[in-house]
Structures are given as structure tokens and as C-alpha cells.
């Protein structure tokens, strides 16, 4: 079946439909990863977005039921150059096309994803619509694209009730993990270091966290504009004003910056992929990181009396980490749990453990 991708700038790409065939409007972003498409689709940070994979061959190792980063996929749409019709891997349980269909994710293949990526890089991320209709009114489509906003996503993706992941081996610490769109491996990285992890809904009041007997708190990744989360930012400030050790990642990093007086802004096309170089300023080392964000903390708005920049992106010098003057509080923009190295930046989890008391 034929399908068309229509961008908000009027550009049309025609290809073949994959996945669900209903019309889908979303914000189009691109990811430069060569692998990990299942983890990308199930990353809650992609809620409200359609993902363009810049690598041309996708689906070649199929999908399984172990690699999901959340209970369901959150990406609205999926765009690829070529979708492999079969998965060739001993862990393969299904094809990617069948997975997209069963999870109602619209998609398109057979288009020039290189040209599409160049548009998104030069003109910025923009809304798009995938349709299988042979005839459509372009003016009506443009009205839909102009009206679409990625809003209310944290409330959509967060857990509804608290749940607990037991520590692997002897329990050493109890950690509260605020779920703003958490990836499962974040909790697992804590559990394998002896932490009993209690995952809490995004709207959980700080008072409840502070009275819960936790040794530390982690703020997770998540979707959308961080500045939209006004009430959550107020609660994050209360956590900051406490003495609990805090480690924050991605959206959590941005929320902490906003809670302490800094500002954020939307990037032209964001950082999404598993090959982003980041320099740890204090260590004097560069790490290849996995990233997925469209907003960034403004370095000029960070009060030096509150925090200092600890990590920077080598490509564009944007803020990738903050070390706060307040004891035992640090945040990073990238994903140390996402294993691009594969374990290059997991030292940050060890640092968080040390902030709670280390090997006690």
C-alpha cells in the first residue's frame, strides 16, 4: 500500500506503508542509531513524536519481548529507508512490521531518509503527517500540522501507582525513582548495585518522598518541553532543598535546572542517537553517549553560586551535565543506562551510590 509523509514545510515523500495504516500527525525527529530500534520505540521520551531512522536498514534482527524499555511503545510513527521483512537473530520473536501493526504505530518505508534528515537538520524538527489516502486536501493537512502540539506527555507516560524493583543480592540502599518517562534499564542499573528501587508517579509530592525513608532520589528521563511541568518543578525544588542525595538524567536534569533558576530552550533538531561525544570536564575524558532530547539547559542562565557545568557536548558545546554546590546533587543530559559504550558512563551510577554512603 502506498503512503505519503507530508511535512509542515510542504515537502512530500511517497513510499510504502508499514505498521498501522491510519492517518498519524506527530512531531518528526531523527535518530542516528544503527541498532536499538526496539528500545527507541519503547522509550517514553518519544511520546508525541515520529522517529526517522537515518540508518538505511532497520528491522534486520526483528523484535523480542525482553528489550522493551517500558510496558508499550510510545513513538507515534516510524520512518525508515528499508524495513527488513524478516528478523535474523536467535532472540528474534517477531518481525518489526508485525510489531508496529500490533501496537498501532503508523509508518512508511522506501523514502529518502537521508534527504529527510537533512531537512530536519537544516530547518529543525517539524510536524508531519503519514497518510495512506490516495487523495487528500493539502490545506486541511496543513491546518492539522500547524495545530499539533506535543503536550501533557509526562502525565501520559508515568506509572499510575508506585511499584518496587528489589535489589539484586543484599539490599544496601532504598532509592526513590521519579517516573517522568523512565526507561526500565535505569531501575535495573540501580538494582544491580544493591538498591531497592521504588518507582513513583511523576505527580508524587516531595513531602511523600522525603518521609519515605529513602537514601536517595533519582529523577528520570521523559518527554516534552520541561518548562510545561510547572507543578513538578515546584516539587523538584523541595527535593533540592532537602539533604537527600539526588541524581537526575535527561528531563530530570532539565527539571532540576529549572527548579534552581536556570532556563531551557528548544534545540533546532536535538540530540538523538547512540554516538554523541561528551566531555567530562573534571575527569578530562570524552565519552560516547546515548541521547534523546530536544531541549537543553542554557549555560548562561546557570547561577555559578548554585551549580557549575560538569559535562559539555563536544559537537556543539551545549550543557550535558551540572554539578550542584549543594552536597550530593548532580545531573546529566545523556543516558548512562543506555549502554552505548556499553558501560562507559555507568560510573555515574557508582557516583550516586557513593553519595549515599558507598560500600557500607
pLDDT in tens, 341-350: 667 789 999 9
Residue 122 has pLDDT above 80, yes or no: yes
Round to whole Å and give the CA distance between 259 and 277.
27
Instruction: Supply the pLDDT for residue 229.
Output: 98
Residue 275: CA atoms inside 13 Å, Cβ hemisphere, count? Answer: 8
Q: For residue 2, how far is the Cα from the chain centroid?
A: 31
- Which entry of 26, 132, 195, 250 is annotated as an active-site residue? 250
Annotated catalytic residue 265: no
pLDDT tens digit sequence for 303-353: 999 999 999 999 999 999 999 999 999 999 999 998 776 677 899 999 999
Of 106, 97, 43, the C-alpha closest to 71 is 43
Residue 360 has pLDDT above 60, yes or no: no
Instruction: Supply the pLDDT for residue 351.
Output: 95
pLDDT tens digit sequence for 288-308: 999 999 999 999 999 999 999
CATH number of 2-150: 3.50.30.20
Annotated catalytic residue 250: yes
Residue 282 has pLDDT above 80, yes or no: yes
pLDDT tens digit sequence for 178-199: 999 999 999 999 999 999 999 9
Annotated catalytic residue 253: no
Round to whole Å and give the CA distance between 68 and 36.
10
Instruction: Answer yes or no: are the C-beta atoms of 125 and 294 closer than 8 Å.
Output: yes
Structural domain spans, the chain: 2-150, 154-355
Q: Which three cell numbers stand for residue 193?
A: 548495585
Instruction: Supply the pLDDT for residue 359.
Output: 64
- Which entry of 253, 293, 311, 335 is annotated as an active-site residue? 335
- Which entry of 39, 69, 235, 337 is annotated as an active-site residue? 337
pLDDT tens digit sequence for 240-250: 999 999 999 99
Collect all residues with Cβ–Cβ distance below 8 Å to 203 and sequence separation of at least 6. Answer: 155, 158, 231, 232
Two domains, one topology: 2-150 and 154-355? no
Instruction: Answer yes or no: are the C-beta atoms of 208 and 70 closer than 8 Å.
Output: no
Q: For residue 149, how far is the Cα from the chain centroid?
A: 18
Round to whole Å and give the CA distance between 310 and 343.
19
What average pLDDT does the chain have?
A: 96
Instruction: Answer yes or no: are the C-beta atoms of 219 and 178 closer than 8 Å.
Output: yes
* Long-range Cβ pairs for the range 354-358 (8 Å, 24+): 355/216, 355/245, 355/247, 355/328, 355/330, 356/173, 356/175, 356/215, 356/216, 356/245, 356/328, 357/173, 357/215
Q: Does domain 154-355 have CATH number 3.40.50.880?
A: yes
Question: Cis bond leading into 342, ω under 30°?
Answer: yes
At 233, is the secondary structure helix, strand, or coil? helix
Q: β-strands 2-7, 82-83: how paired?
A: unpaired
Amino acid at each position: 500500500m502506498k503512503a505519503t509523509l507530508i511535512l509542515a514545510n510542504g515537502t512530500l515523500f511517497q513510499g510504502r506503508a508499514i505498521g498501522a495504516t491510519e492517518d498519524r500527525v506527530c512531531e518528526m525527529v531523527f535518530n542516528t542509531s544503527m541498532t536499538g530500534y526496539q528500545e527507541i520505540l519503547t522509550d517514553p521520551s518519544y511520546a508525541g513524536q515520529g522517529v526517522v531512522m537515518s540508518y538505511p536498514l532497520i528491522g534486520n534482527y526483528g523484535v523480542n519481548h525482553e528489550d522493551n524499555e517500558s510496558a508499550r511503545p510510545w513513538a507515534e510513527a516510524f520512518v525508515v529507508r528499508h524495513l527488513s521483512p524478516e528478523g535474523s537473530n536467535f532472540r528474534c520473536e517477531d518481525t518489526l512490521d508485525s510489531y508496529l501493526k500490533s501496537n498501532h504505530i503508523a509508518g512508511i518505508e522506501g523514502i529518502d531518509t537521508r534527504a529527510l534528515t537533512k531537512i530536519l537538520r537544516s530547518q529543525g524538527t517539524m510536524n508531519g503527517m503519514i497518510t495512506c489516502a490516495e487523495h487528500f486536501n493539502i490545506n486541511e493537512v496543513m491546518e492539522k500540522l500547524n495545530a499539533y502540539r506535543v503536550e501533557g506527555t509526562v502525565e501520559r507516560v508515568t506509572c499510575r501507582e508506585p511499584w518496587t524493583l528489589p535489589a539484586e543480592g543484599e539490599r544496601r540502599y532504598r532509592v526513590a525513582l521519579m517516573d517522568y518517562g523512565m526507561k526500565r534499564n535505569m531501575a535495573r542499573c540501580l538494582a544491580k548495585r544493591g538498591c531497592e528501587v521504588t518507582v513513583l508517579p511523576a505527580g508524587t509530592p516531595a513531602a511523600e518522598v522525603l518521609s519515605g525513608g529513602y537514601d536517595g532520589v533519582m529523577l528520570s528521563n521523559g518527554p516534552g518541553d520541561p518548562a510545561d511541568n510547572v507543578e513538578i518543578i515546584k516539587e523538584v525544588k523541595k527535593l533540592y532543598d532537602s539533604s537527600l542525595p539526588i541524581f537526575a538524567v535527561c528531563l530530570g536534569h532539565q527539571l532540576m535546572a529549572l527548579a534552581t533558576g536556570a532556563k531551557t530552550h528548544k534545540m533546532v533538531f536535538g540530540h538523538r542517537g547512540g554516538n554523541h561525544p561528551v566531555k567530562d570536564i573534571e575527569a578530562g575524558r570524552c565519552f560516547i553517549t546515548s541521547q534523546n532530547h530536544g531541549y537543553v539547559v542554557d549555560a548562561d542562565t546557570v547561577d555559578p553560586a548554585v551549580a557549575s557545568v560538569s559535562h559539555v557536548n563536544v559537537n556543539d558545546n551545549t550543557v550535558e551535565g551540572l554539578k550542584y554546590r549543594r552536597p550530593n546533587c548532580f545531573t546529566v543530559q545523556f543516558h548512562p543506562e543506555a549502554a552505548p559504550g556499553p558501560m562507559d558512563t555507568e560510573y555515574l551510577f557508582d557516583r550516586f551510590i557513593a553519595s549515599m554512603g558507598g560500600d557500607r
